[in-house]
C-alpha cells in the first residue's frame, strides 16, 4: 500500500510527477464539467481530529471531482469525545471498506502510526500532524511557486533549481515550514528561515537551509517570501510574543514588500492573522498568492489521490481540441 506521510519521503522525480499531474488536473477545472470518473466506486474518508478550513474543503472538492464516494469525519460530535482510541476509530472505518484515509491530527506521528499499524489496509494521506508535516501544503506551495516563477507551461518537468525562498515566522510550531524545507530542498531551491530566536526549533542547524534573524536583509534576495502564522494555540501563554514587537521585527508590510524584487511573490498557507504577520495591504495585493494557493490545493490533492488510488488509467482524457 502506498501512503503520503512526509514531504521528506518524496524524491525529486516523485515531486515533479505530482506537480505535472496537478497541471493536468487543473485543466479539468477549466472545463464546463469539472469532473473525472477516475475514482468511481472508491471510498475516501476525511478524518479530521483538528480544525481545518482550506485542507478539509479542498480534499473534499478533489475527491468529488474524481468521482470518489466521500465520508467526512470530524472528532467533534464523534465517539472520540467519549474516549474512543485512534485504533478503534480506524478499525471502524476499515469495517466499512474504505480505500483511502485523509487524516489531520494534533499528535505528530498519528498518520505514520495509522499507515504502519496494520489496523487498516487503506492508503493514508497526511493532512497535517502536530508540528511535524503537512506534505500536500508543501506540494501546493511548490506548485504555486513553479507556476509563478518558472511558468505554467515552461514549468512542466521542471523543479525549482536556484529559486530563493524565505520562510518567516513561527518555525518552531510549523509543520508547513518543516514540509516546505524538505520539499524545496529536494526540488533544488535555496531556503532561508527567518524567525525570532525563541521560535526556532532545536536541531534546526541540521535542516537543509540557512537561518537568519534579520528579515530586512533577506527580502531583496528572495523570489518568494512565505509568511507563517504565530500558532498561539500550541504555545504556553507565557511565551506569547507581543503583537506589536513581533510585527515590528517579523511582520510583512508595504514598506518591506517594496524591498523585494519586482517578480517576487508573497505566500501564506492560511489562516492569516492580519496585522500580526502580514498587513491587509500586503495580504490583498496582487503579489500575494494566498487565494491562488487554495485553488492550487485542489489540483494537487486530485493529483495525489489519482497517483495513490487511480491505477493505470490516464489522469485526464483530453479532447482533440485540447491536444492540438
Q: Which residues bind ligand CP (CB under 6 A)?
A: 52-55, 128, 137, 269-271
Closest chain position to ligand CP (CB) = 55
Least gap, CB of 255 to ligand CP (angstroms): 27
Asked whether residue 137 is marked as a ligand-binding residue, the answer is: yes
Least gap, CB of 137 to ligand CP (angstroms): 5
Q: Which is nearer to ligand CP, 54 or 232 (CB)?
A: 54
Least gap, CB of 31 to ligand CP (angstroms): 26
Neighbours of 114 (CB within 10 A): 25
Nearby residues of 258 by Cβ (< 8 Å), 6 or more positions away: none
Least gap, CB of 32 to ligand CP (angstroms): 28
Asked whether residue 82 is marked as a ligand-binding residue, the answer is: yes
List the grid coordinates of 12: 525529486
Asked whether residue 55 is marked as a ligand-binding residue, the answer is: yes
Listed residue (139, 136, 125, 138) closest to 47, CA to CA? 125
Asked whether residue 162 is marked as a ligand-binding residue, the answer is: no
Q: Which is nearer to ligand CP, 58 or 192 (CB)?
A: 58
Q: Which is nearer to ligand CP, 174 or 186 (CB)?
A: 174
Asked whether residue 163 is marked as a ligand-binding residue, the answer is: no
Q: Which is nearer to ligand CP, 53 or 317 (CB)?
A: 53
Q: Which is nearer to ligand CP, 130 or 310 (CB)?
A: 130
Let me know: does 212 contact 169? Beta carbons within 8 Å. Answer: no
List the grid coordinates of 52: 481545518
**CA–CA distance, 119 with 84 (Å, rounded to integer):** 15
Let me know: does 70 contact 60? Beta carbons within 8 Å. Answer: yes
Q: Per-residue DSSP letters for 209-228?
A: SEEES-HHHHHTT-SEEEE-
From the DSSP assignment, how many helices (H) and strands (E) are in the chain? 12, 9
Asked whether residue 1 is marked as a ligand-binding residue, the answer is: no
Least gap, CB of 126 to ligand CP (angstroms): 11
Let me know: does 137 contact 104? Beta carbons within 8 Å. Answer: no
- Residues annotated within the binding site for carbamoyl phosphate are 54-55, 104, 134, 137, 270-271
- Residues annotated within the binding site for L-aspartate are 82, 175, 229
- Residues annotated within the binding site are 54-55, 82, 104, 134, 137, 175, 229, 270-271
Amino acid at each position: 500500500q502506498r501512503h503520503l506521510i512526509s514531504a521528506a519521503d518524496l524524491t525529486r522525480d516523485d515531486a515533479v510527477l505530482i506537480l505535472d499531474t496537478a497541471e493536468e488536473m487543473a485543466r479539468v477545472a477549466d472545463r464546463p464539467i469539472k469532473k473525472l470518473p477516475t475514482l468511481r466506486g472508491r471510498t475516501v474518508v476525511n478524518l479530521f481530529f483538528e480544525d481545518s478550513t482550506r485542507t478539509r474543503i479542498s480534499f473534499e472538492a478533489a475527491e468529488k471531482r474524481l468521482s470518489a464516494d466521500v465520508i467526512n469525519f470530524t472528532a467533534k460530535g464523534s465517539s472520540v469525545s467519549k474516549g474512543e482510541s485512534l485504533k478503534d476509530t480506524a478499525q471502524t472505518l476499515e469495517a466499512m471498506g474504505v480505500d483511502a484515509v485523509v487524516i489531520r491530527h494534533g499528535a505528530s506521528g498519528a498518520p505514520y502510526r495509522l499507515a504502519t499499524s496494520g489496523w487498516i489496509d487503506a492508503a493514508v494521506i497526511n493532512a497535517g500532524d502536530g508540528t511535524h508535516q503537512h506534505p500536500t501544503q508543501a506540494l501546493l506551495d511548490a506548485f504555486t511557486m513553479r507556476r509563478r516563477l518558472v511558468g505554467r507551461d515552461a514549468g512542466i518537468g521542471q523543479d525549482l533549481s536556484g529559486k530563493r525562498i524565505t520562510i518567516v515566522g513561527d518555525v518552531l510550531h510549523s509543520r508547513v515550514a518543516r514540509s516546505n524545507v524538505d520539499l524545496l530542498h529536494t526540488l533544488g531551491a535555496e531556503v532561508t528561515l527567518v524567525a525570532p530566536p525563541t521560535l526556532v526549533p532545536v536541531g534546526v542547524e541540521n535542516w537543509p537551509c540557512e537561518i537568519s534573524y534579520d528579515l530586512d536583509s533577506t527580502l531583496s534576495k528572495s523570489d518568494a517570501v512565505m509568511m507563517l502564522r504565530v500558532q498561539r494555540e500550541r504555545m504556553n501563554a507565557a511565551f506569547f510574543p507581543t503583537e506589536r514587537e513581533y510585527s515590528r521585527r517579523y511582520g510583512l508590510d508595504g514598506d518591506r514588500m517594496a524591498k523585494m524584487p519586482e517578480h517576487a511573490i508573497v505566500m501564506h498557507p492560511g489562516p492569516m492573522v492580519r496585522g500580526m504577520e502580514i498587513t491587509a495591504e500586503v495580504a490583498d495585493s496582487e503579489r500575494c498568492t494566498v487565494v491562488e494557493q487554495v485553488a492550487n490545493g485542489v489540483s494537487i490533492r486530485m493529483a495525489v489521490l489519482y497517483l495513490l488510488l487511480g491505477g493505470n488509467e490516464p489522469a485526464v482524457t483530453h479532447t482533440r481540441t485540447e491536444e492540438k
